[in-house]
Amino acid sequence: MQPILAGKVAVVTGGASGIGRATAELLAAQGAAVMIVDLDESNAGAAADAIAASGGRALALRADMREEGQVQAAIEATVAHFGGVDLLDNTVSYNAPEQTGADGEIHEMDAAIGNRALEINLRGPMLAAKYCIPQMLKRGGGAIVNISSTAGILSLGTVPAYAASKAAVHSLSQSIATAYGRRGIRCNTIAPGFIDTPTTRNMGDQFFQMTLDNNVLPYLGQPDDIAQAALFLLSDAARYITGQLLAVDGGQTIHLPVVADMWRMAAGKPLVETA
């Protein structure tokens, strides 16, 4: 059976590690030629090398997604090397650990951190779309997936700039879907829940356990769970889906906040753990 993305060219921003790398590898395994665009040149190159070693086609380019000239150059290089662009997966994201403290409350928020979150999480995907869409139109259409977050659906009460930027990502997807649908371009959003990556591991075991306590499914998501959703939305199997937000979160956003406490009560456990 022919791979479902045979003959397609995909751009994956933020593809050096975690969700982005898993997505780049899966798209390549399904036949797409993949350009990995990331600020982390070393790991992006390693990801491209791993794809090539598995028989796929991939290149890596370093680009700061805040800089329009660098984004434009990356897309132009993709076209020069692979002949065009059919698919765009915007996984690029800024969720640095320092946000937890410095961006914890709006009245204490470091404006520079807030600006950086908006520039990378929103401006980056917008710039990638700006330069990929004309290439997609030349090929009769294409598909875009923008990666948001469940923090953009329901508030954590912290990281307001990160959350606002991720909420705005879905508005961007809807705008693209509306403006370009009649010209053959679809655009959707994925909102991952808590995914087990090296970055999230830095948040500690306690946060992992809190997430498990509030998930409907009894396990944490893996990068490939998001990659599989992206593959579906980018493929022709999702040809009638556009402008939608898909939460891939283990059921994190489907219930009232008291559910975890109700489960504890049913198990005969105290609502508040005592020493």
- pLDDT for 102 equals 46
Give the H/E segment covering residue 61. Answer: strand 57-62
Output the six-digit token pair for 24.
């780049």
Closest CA to 135 of 259, 10, 50: 10
The pLDDT confidence band at residue 110, using thresholds 50, 70 and 90, is: confident
Contact 13, 89 (CB under 8 A): yes
The answer to whether residue 162 is catalytic is: yes
- Per-residue pLDDT, averaged over 192-202, amounts to 83
Radius of gyration of the CA atoms of the chain, in A: 19
The pLDDT confidence band at residue 98, using thresholds 50, 70 and 90, is: low
Top pLDDT among 113 and 42 is at: 42
Q: 89 pairs with which residues across the strands?
A: 12, 145
- pLDDT for 258 equals 84
**Distant-in-sequence, close-in-space partners of 216: CB < 8 Å, separation ≥ 6:** 250, 251, 252, 254, 255
- What's the rounded Cα separation, in Å, for the pair 191 and 130? 22
Closest CA to 11 of 163, 102, 115, 124: 124
Give the H/E segment covering residue 9. Answer: strand 9-13
Closest CA to 121 of 154, 96, 158: 96
The amino acid at residue 23 is T
- The single residue of 94, 131, 162, 180 carrying the catalytic annotation is 162
Top pLDDT among 29 and 261 is at: 29
pLDDT per residue as tens digits for the range 122-133: 999 999 999 999
Walk me through the domains of the chain, giving residue ranges and CATH numbers. Answer: 9-266 (3.40.50.720)
Give percent above pLDDT 90 in the chain. 72
For the entire predicted model, the pTM comes to 0.93
- What's the rounded Cα separation, in Å, for the pair 104 and 85? 39
